[in-house]
Structure 1
């Protein structure tokens, strides 16, 4: 019974019409739920047909006991250093486990599985794999290290789940995005609706200005007094002010309106021109599962993520093709996807942050699809009947309500909750070649002006 972690058990000894009850106290003080000193006799069963067969005499005294804990190296939740014996760099779940152990007056004895991709699942025959096998073989009472709470694991183990609830997501990552060329950013910032607005305002001002012009009645053309004023208005739009406008419109509010409109349009655009060029935008990328389905990207998903998706009935998009061998491990899947533009991968956002920190600053950014698969719940897994499951659950719940878990996450991941660019800076300097469009327009305008000027001189 004790080997199977049965800590609340009663043996019934029947002889003739008499029923004697016996039990043991593996969780009494000093036993730590691993051994017992003697068989406890509860006496004869008094209410054979009743609900209370025997009184509850079980005690849980685990103060100063040593809890065997199994984990693996999976930053940022569990961080194990191979180089320094006896020392460990604490991850998020490690810090929370040690806080819980201190609260319950427990000591921790770590056993580490250095194969980072070995998680653990419950097989159909109820046996376990990976780190979870440590519980099955009685080498550990508790395992942790980015274990996602799933029906498969919950079917064979008890768990504490109140510490990391919906703080991480299973996300889709597509190849690096390419930045818009700096010379194209100058005119791409003016979208179609901006041009429509400019034309609409220009037409309105042209009609109003020509209608109130100071020309005589004989100069009427259609419904307007001065259609030539349109050319002067266009001069305002390109910051070429003419005194003729002031003479014809005098102090009309329309004149002040077109001046202010031209000033604001030119001022805002020119003041924003530097940021438009130096801080470039990215080209259109995949941002939904539907767009991913319509693309030709093939999956490059690690084995452990693929197993989790299959157990939770998550569809692997475009999953008909076989994956290269480099996609079996999570880190290699990211590097393969980054170097080849025809693959995508699936992983947790927390793991993505850790992997991107190891990328070279010159590597382009990997794009995270905005539409995510699902929020995740992580768990500490213990054997069935573990006596401190409820106490650990309540303590982790209180840590979350008081904000301590958020602080632990920010201590380990400083950029938690913030937008961070892991692919290096996208800001660069401006060169003359980046201003090819403005210089081309300037050259074209100067050529046209010179030709018009020479034509007028020749005619006169």
Structure 2
């Protein structure tokens, strides 16, 4: 029973390896061959990752360890690493076993096809070499040597960039011959010497103007060079200098946000890239951590040129009747009423009239500059003239403020900061794209669940425009491109972006790991930005978009400052008081 437990333990801990059975036996020539290759070509890196059965390969690993030339680590599949592997030592039983299990490596965050690979296969026929190299070609692994386990090991490789094959096919399998005779050969030469010259890249785009444009209706008034947007144009510029062409493929499902799961499985347009259906994905693709772990990218041309901003509803104009009291603030109105009361009391004490309301009404009508002859002593007239001057100044200031309000109408309170959003308890209305970005930005593992009316980017903005308690976030570049769509017929914006951004963003062109001349393309993309080409094209596209929108000139429409409702209420009160005075007079 103890033996059974021991065997079960060994099999369990070898479950992440390529092979378990049968047991491998290597001869001394294999140890010497592998050790010499590692010593000559792998010492530049600090660590080499072993992928295989640690139990079966213990003699091989012991030989490498005794040589004391490099640090060996065993691949641990459940552990998520961020730093890519520097080199691989892979052992497999045969070609089919290798092809079946190699995909597991590519689903790791530390997967690095640009590293050097040394693959040791125990049972390998000449006709099965294509099985191994077809698998390596699919995942763009080119720095590789395959060692066939024989008495004197045989070495093989391939070059998918030979004869301008663009890394998509290979003509022949390169046979280095016996390992004992390969000391004078360069087993890991630079293979992508032709780069992407004479190649055609299949690039998929989604509708995300101004970066990419799919629908023909958004291509009106745009030159043929910019008909597909900013990013395809920049990619073609890079292609002119590097000698490759670009074939644009349209993806009409622009709102199907591409995500990457914890096991490096992509969705949306990035899934096409992961399935090797296309060579690159562009279209306002935000650079976020999960995508950066699963793919390579070019970001120098669109780094920090845009930002995420809060979008809120633009405050509406106040009703006309509110202008009657908005000229003065609450303090001035309170002081004015206090002055009226104090001065009325003072005049009543000085004039001592029979009808005290007569004095009060005279004080009020003098505020609207109505004249009246008041018989009084000369000393009292000095007091009266002070009130006349006060009434003149107050009336003049009130009328000038009223004119200012009618020519420059006031708006309701405008949400202008993040603190205002929290204070007035506005609810988020995020689209799918912005929802995923928000989850990534706060480094949360939760899934985003948005409402149906906010699922699309422009629909979320429309919902904010029609509601008083919603807000959203979006790229300022997309907002600048689409903002005229949310103007009224007179060209007045109905939404606005807050001046303080939520965050800066980086857009990227995503390619699969192992993409050639990546550093060269990054440098060239950075040059396009520094030369001002990116800013110039964006400016032109914003201008061409504005030409599509025509707004009406708002005709002059006079409005009575005192609304009919207020006028009717005042007239009714006056009639009621007049009738009440007549009744009181008749009773006397």
TM normalised by structure 1 equals: 0.67
Relative contact order, higher structure (CA 8 A, sep 6+): 1
Q: Which residue of 2 aligns with 1:7?
A: 142
Alpha-carbon separation, structure 2, partners of 1:43 and 1:281: 86
Q: 1:383 aligns with which of 512, 523, 526?
A: 512
Give distance in 2, aligned partners of 1:101 and 1:281.
54
Task: Summarize the Cα distance change of 1:41–1:181 in structure 2 as closer, same or farther, 3 Å threshold.
Answer: same
Does the 8 Å CA contact 1:299/1:344 hold for their aligned counterparts?
yes
Matches of 2:556 and 2:562 in 1, distance apart?
Answer: 12
Q: Which residue of 2 aligns with 1:146?
A: 284
Contact 2:214/2:251 (8 A) holds in 1: no
Aligned-pair distance for 1:413? 1.3
Measure, in 1, the Cα distance between the counterparts of 2:268 and 2:418.
Answer: 31
1:183-194 residue pairs with structure 2 within 5 A? none
Asked if the contact 1:280–1:427 (Cα under 8 Å) also holds between the matched residues in 2, the reply is no
Q: State the SS of the aligned residue for 1:345.
A: strand
> Which of residues 170, 173, 177 is equivalent to 1:36?
170
The match for 2:192 is 59
Alignment of structure 1 residues 31-430 onto 2, 5 Å? 31-42=165-176, 54-61=187-194, 62-81=196-215, 89-181=227-319, 277-313=406-442, 324-359=451-486, 361-362=488-489, 365-414=494-543, 429=556
After TM superposition, give the deviation of residue 5 of structure 1 in Å.
Answer: 1.6
Aligned residues: 368
Q: Distance in 2 between matches of 1:194 and 1:161?
A: 58
Of residues 154-163 and 291-300 in structure 1, the stretch that sits farther from structure 2 once superposed is 291-300
Deviation by residue 1:111-146 (Cα, 9 ceiling, x = unmatched): 221012023121223221100111112111110001
Kept after mapping to 2: 8 A contact 1:66/1:108: yes
**Aligned pair in 2 of structure 1 residues 431, 312: CA closer, same or farther (>3 Å)?**
same
Tell me, in whole angstroms, the C-alpha distance in 1 between the residues paired with 2:239 and 2:405: 53
Q: CA offsets, 1:433-460, max 9 Å, x none?
A: 2499xxx9xxxxxxxxxxxxxxxxxxxx
Give the distance between the partners of 1:292 and 1:345, measured in 2 at CA.
11
Distance in 2 (alpha carbons) for counterparts of 1:276 and 1:231? 27
CA RMSD of aligned residues (A): 4.2
Q: Is the 8 A contact 1:177 1:364 kept in 2?
A: no
Give the drift of 1:103. 2.1
Q: 1:14 to 1:324 in 2, by over 3 A?
A: closer
Superposed displacement of residue 338, structure 1: 1.7
Residue by residue over 1:358-383, the C-alpha shift from the partner in whole angstroms, topping out at 9 and shown as x without a partner, is 33524851132333321110000000
- Cα deviations by residue, 1:404-446 (Å, 9 ceiling, x for unpaired): 1110111111399x9xxx997897746352499xxx9xxxxxx
Question: 2:550, 2:407 → 1: CA distance?
Answer: 16
Q: What does the per-residue CA deviation read over 1:46-68, in whole Å, with 9 as the maximum and x for residues that have no partner?
A: 8999xx98452423312121001
> CA 1:182–1:165 in 2, change beyond 3 Å: closer, same or farther?
farther
Asked whether the 8 Å contact 1:186–1:276 carries over to 2, the reply is: no
Match of 1:221 in 2: none
Per-residue Cα deviation, 1:200-245 (whole angstroms, up to 9, x for no partner): xxxxxxxxxxxxxxxxxxxxxxxxxx999988986996899xxxxx
Q: Could you tell which deviates more after superposition, 303-312 or 277-286?
A: 277-286
Q: Distance in 1 between matches of 2:242 and 2:462?
A: 42
1:104 Cα offset (Å): 1.5
How much does 1:273 deviate?
A: 8.1
Larger Rg, first or second structure (1 or 2): 2
Using the TM superposition, give the Cα deviation of residue 100 of structure 1 relative to its aligned residue in structure 2, in angstroms. 1.5
Could you say what secondary structure the match of 2:523 adopts? Answer: helix
| Local SS of the residue matching 1:301 | coil
Whole-angstrom CA distance in 1 between matches of 2:303 and 2:332: 44
Which residue of 2 is the match for residue 259 of structure 1?
none
| In structure 2, C-alpha distance between the alignment counterparts of 1:282 and 1:231, rounded to whole Å | 34
Query: For the residues of structure 2 that align with 1:275 and 1:92, how far apart are their CA atoms?
Result: 45
Distance in 1, Cα, partners of 2:450 & 2:535: 37
CA 1:153–1:323: 2 relative to 1, 3 Å: closer
Please give the per-residue CA displacement for 1:283-321, whole angstroms capped at 9, x wherever unaligned. 322222232122232222112221221122279xxx99x
Higher helix share: 2
- Where do 5+ consecutive residues of structure 2 fail to align? 1-135, 334-381, 568-588
TM-score (norm 2): 0.54
- Give 1:105 shift: 1.6
- Contact preservation (8 Å) 2:316, 2:411: yes
Deviates more, 1:57-66 or 1:401-410: 57-66
The alpha-carbon distance between structure 1 residues 429 and 148, as it changes in their structure 2 partners (threshold 3 A), is same
User: Closer, same or farther in 2 for the Cα pair 1:415/1:287, shift >3 Å?
Assistant: farther
CA contact (8 A) 2:487 2:494 kept: no
